[in-house]
């Protein structure tokens, strides 16, 4: 999707609160500051165990290997069906706040994790 198309669609679909930005014009300005990159693959990380964030297993090793084979992206789009708020939100910052999107009953170590710089 072209940036202009995204900006238009974002306005139509009700992006009303932008974290770390003043409005859609700021989002557009930010996106225009990014250099063009080659077409990137789409990776789907299905609903799995949050324990993958702290365990070393075949799943984690597989994603680590994939990470070695693709260039560093300019941006990442993350979509979650598990959300506590209404509306669509956009953030554009280097180190966004970590959202712990899981309930209790899990090891405290998971709740101490924060964003990792790419």
In a domain, 97, yes or no: yes
- Full-model pTM: 0.52
In a domain, 106, yes or no: yes
CA-CA distance, 73 to 89, in Å (whole number)? Answer: 20
Mean pLDDT of the chain: 72
CA-CA distance, 31 to 28, in Å (whole number)? Answer: 5
Q: How far apart are the first and last CA of the chain?
A: 23
Number of domains composing the chain: 1
In a domain, 118, yes or no: no
Of 31, 64, 50, which is closest to residue 105 (Cα–Cα)? 50
At residue 23, does pLDDT exceed 60? no
In a domain, 102, yes or no: yes
pLDDT, position 12: 46
Task: Using the CB atoms, write b or e for 11-42: b if 16+ within 10 Å.
Answer: eeeebeebeebeebeebeeeeeeeeeeeeeee
In a domain, 51, yes or no: yes
Q: Which residue has the higher pLDDT, 59 or 83?
A: 59
CA-CA distance, 78 to 115, in Å (whole number)? Answer: 13
At residue 56, does pLDDT exceed 80? yes
Instruction: Provide the domain limits for residue 59.
Output: 3-111
Question: Using one digit for the tens of pLDDT, what is the confidence trace for 70-101?
Answer: 888 877 777 766 666 677 777 777 777 777 76
């Amino acid at each position: 999707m072209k940036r202009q198309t995204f900006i238009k669609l974002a306005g139509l679909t009700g992006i009303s609160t932008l974290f770390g930005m003043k409005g859609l014009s700021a989002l557009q300005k930010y996106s225009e500051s990014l250099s063009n990159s080659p077409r990137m693959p789409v990776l789907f990380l299905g609903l799995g165990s949050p324990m993958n964030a702290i365990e070393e297993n075949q799943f984690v090793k597989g994603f680590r290997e994939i990470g070695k084979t693709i260039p560093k992206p300019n941006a990442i789009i993350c979509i979650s069906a598990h959300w506590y708020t209404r509306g669509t939100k956009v953030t554009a910052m280097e180190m966004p706040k970590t959202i712990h999107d899981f309930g209790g009953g899990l090891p405290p170590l998971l709740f101490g994790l924060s964003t990792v710089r790419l």
